[in-house]
């Protein structure tokens, strides 16, 4: 239920007529709506609670959407969405058919730029500011970037150029001293050294970039923020405002446990206590990775792991607890993580570099130039491969097969279950001569007793999971489990390709010689993926078989539960069965 003041706010224009007491009451209303909604629907709680006052002050002080406001990352944007005409549909946030969990240009004129990944806001806002200057516009541009995001190389690159311009840009550093996990790095310590001591334009770090610095300002004081923004609006050129906020502000449990409440499960809206559901009999793939790696590190002192700000998300907390000197969180710096891995491998260490599939995209040149070109055996542990659900298009890991398989020296392994994941992690620390990517999905596996004795994977051959006569289905990764259910009772064959580079050409030759129709199925994009690789090989051998390629279509997939998304694109068991039945009907006439 929307409270009295908030119910009359349908756009930022409405809040500009409120006094300071009413603005503070509005902040309470917004927090209540966020907490009440996310207690049931889930989402990014802590970051959005921490910027409620900042959001109000920005929309109060600036003429949005004429003045351009960019959030970095979009975890912070829930209050912004509520104030910009979406409060009545906020309960649909991240749900199928509802509003996006991140700023999205096509969703609202107030969403000046899409920001699902971090560290892009300064570059985008600077580009807008320079463009408006050239076009003769005098509007303001504000980039709100977290203290963890601003430590990324891209943010430094943008500030380096910004200091040489007279663009009308305000960089607001929202310093809450934490990303998803606690902040890391020397720059974090530098920001932490600054207390709430009022305006200071002689900051040595930002002065090196020729950027006037103002701060540190209390990010939970609307009146102080309003006064500061009014002052900064009158100053031409680029400015940096450093504010201090508390992630999870207003919900005691979220303030006390900021890691857990970054994006918690369902919780009690009054107490904040997590609602404990019955524990799954199965284990998340990320935990299979994290626990197995810790187990391997116990007996192999050369094993280290590197991640760009994803300790808990990649379950490296298990290894960090036991071997803290062998886990390296480099902050939100994916390119650096990749080349750091290459450097360590060149000195004989066994490096497992763990990051989400869509974040790996940000290190593409380093994968090619620093790892693959030199054939350094870095082990890429790619979490969140495939469709990830409610985070939507910015986070779906559907492109990794396509963009990795074209790189020389690169191997790609896609386990179908927890045992294959566990055993490939074990095998690679015994002997690995080339870079290899291991991709696995978000969520739970399907094997209860996965912690079995290690079995080295010595063959790169495909496995035949089912024998039939009419059609051969070939697949890679965990989608094999959907296929197994879909083809129960059907007279078709099913082959699982764990290694898709190098591909098992012998098995494809045998399949092509036996079956006139082949269906390839994957949870990656149909353009350039596993099916494309099979098609290219078959074309090179002049095979005339019918090849049906099924996977993620050539479009950006929206947000919603994985189950709904799979159903929408036909990768659920019913959709796969329908595809097989259609081909069987065609064969049998």
Residues identified as active-site:
247, 334, 362
Burial of 448 (0-12, 13-18, 19+ CB in 10 A): exposed
Backbone torsion region of residue 467, taken as left when φ is above 0, otherwise alpha when ψ lies between -120 and 50, otherwise beta: beta
Q: Which residues pair with 234 in a beta bridge?
A: none
Alpha carbon distance 30, 250 (integer Å):
11
DSSP three-state, residue 380: strand
Cα–Cα distance between 444 and 563 in angstroms, integer?
Answer: 13
* Contacts for 528 with CB less than 8 Å, ≥ 6 apart: 401, 402, 403, 405, 406
Neighbours of 76 (CB within 10 A): 30
The CA-atom distances, in angstroms, between 234 and each of 140, 227, 228, 230 are 10, 11, 10, 7
Within 146-275, residue ranges assigned H as helices are 153-162, 186-192, 204-208, 222-233, 252-256
Rounded distance between C-alpha atoms, residue 272 and residue 461, angstroms: 50
Residues 6+ apart with CB under 8 A from 252: 272
Burial class (CB in 10 A: 0-12, 13-18, 19+), 313: buried
DSSP 454-508: P--------EEEE--SSEEEEE-TTHHHHHHHHTTT---EEEE-SEEETB-HHHH
- Cα separation, 515 vs 65, in Å, equals 59
DSSP β-bridge partners for residue 173: 145, 242
Q: CA 17 to CA 30: how far, in whole Å?
A: 17
The values of phi and psi at residue 547, to 5°, are -115, 120
Q: What is the C-alpha to C-alpha distance for residues 222 and 407, in angstroms, rounded to an integer?
A: 51
Q: By the 8 A CB rule, do 377 and 436 touch? A: yes
Rounded to a whole number of angstroms, the CA Rg of the chain reads 26
Q: How many other β-carbons are positioned within 10 Å of the β-carbon of residue 291?
A: 17
- Rounded-to-integer distance, Cα 122 and Cα 47, Å: 19
First to last CA, the chain: 58
Which one-letter DSSP state was computed for residue 279?
Answer: P
């Amino acid at each position: 239920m929307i409270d009295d003041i908030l119910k009359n706010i349908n756009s930022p224009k409405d809040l500009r007529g409120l006094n300071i007491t009413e603005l503070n009451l509005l902040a309470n209303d917004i927090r209540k709506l966020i907490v009440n909604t996310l207690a049931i629907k889930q989402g990014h709680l802590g970051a959005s609670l921490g910027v409620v006052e900042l959001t109000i002050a920005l929309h109060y002080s600036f003429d949005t959407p004429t003045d351009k406001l960019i959030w970095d990352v979009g975890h912070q944007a829930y209050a912004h969405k509520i104030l910009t005409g979406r409060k009545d549909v906020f309960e649909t946030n991240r749900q199928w058919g509802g509003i996006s969990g991140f700023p999205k240009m096509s969703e609202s004129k107030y969403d000046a730029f899409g920001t699902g990944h971090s560290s892009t806001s300064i570059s985008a806002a600077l580009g807008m500011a320079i463009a408006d200057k050239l076009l003769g516009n005098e509007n303001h541009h504000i980039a709100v970037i977290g203290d963890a995001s601003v430590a990324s190389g891209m943010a430094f690159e943008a500030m380096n150029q910004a200091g040489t311009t007279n663009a009308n840009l305000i960089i607001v550093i929202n310093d809450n001293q934490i990303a998803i996990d606690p902040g890391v790095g020397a720059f974090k310590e530098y920001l932490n050294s600054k207390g709430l001591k009022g305006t200071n334009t002689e900051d040595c770090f930002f002065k090196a970039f020729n950027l006037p610095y103002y701060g540190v300002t209390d990010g939970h004081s609307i009146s102080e923020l309003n006064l500061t923004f009014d002052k900064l609006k009158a100053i031409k050129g680029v400015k940096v405002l450093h504010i201090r906020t508390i992630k999870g502000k207003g919900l005691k449990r979220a303030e006390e446990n900021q890691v857990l409440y970054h994006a918690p499960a369902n919780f009690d809206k009054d107490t904040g206590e997590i609602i404990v559901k019955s524990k799954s009999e199965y284990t998340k793939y990320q935990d299979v990775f994290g626990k197995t790696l810790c187990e391997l590190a116990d007996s192999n002192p050369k094993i280290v792991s590197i991640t760009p700000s994803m300790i808990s998300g990649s379950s490296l907390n298990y290894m960090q607890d036991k071997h803290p000197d062998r886990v390296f969180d480099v902050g939100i710096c994916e390119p650096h993580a990749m080349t750091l891995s290459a450097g360590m491998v060149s000195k004989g260490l066994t490096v497992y570099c763990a990051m989400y599939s869509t974040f790996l995209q940000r290190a593409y040149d380093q994968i090619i130039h620093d790892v693959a070109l030199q054939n350094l055996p870095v082990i890429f542990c790619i979490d969140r491969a495939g469709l990830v659900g409610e985070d939507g298009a910015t986070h779906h890991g559907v492109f990794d097969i396509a963009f990795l398989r074209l790189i020389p020296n690169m191997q790609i392994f896609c386990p179908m279950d927890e045992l294959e994941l566990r055993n490939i992690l074990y095998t690679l620390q015994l002997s690995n001569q080339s870079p290899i990517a291991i991709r696995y999905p978000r969520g739970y596996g399907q094997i209860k007793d996965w912690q079995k004795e290690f079995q080295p994977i010595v063959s790169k051959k495909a496995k035949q999971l089912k024998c039939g006569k009419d059609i051969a289905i070939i697949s890679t990764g965990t989608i094999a489990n959907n296929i197994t259910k879909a083809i129960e009772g059907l007279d078709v064959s099913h082959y699982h390709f764990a290694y898709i580079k190098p591909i098992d050409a012998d098995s494809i030759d045998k399949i092509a010689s036996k079956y006139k129709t082949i269906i390839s199925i994957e949870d990656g994009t149909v353009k350039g993926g596993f099916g494309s690789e099979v098609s290219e090989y078959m074309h090179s051998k002049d095979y005339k078989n019918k090849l049906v390629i099924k996977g993620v279509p050539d479009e950006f997939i929206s947000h919603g539960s994985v189950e709904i998304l799979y159903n929408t694109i036909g990768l659920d068991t019913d959709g796969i069965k329908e595809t097989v039945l259609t081909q069987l009907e065609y064969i049998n006439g």
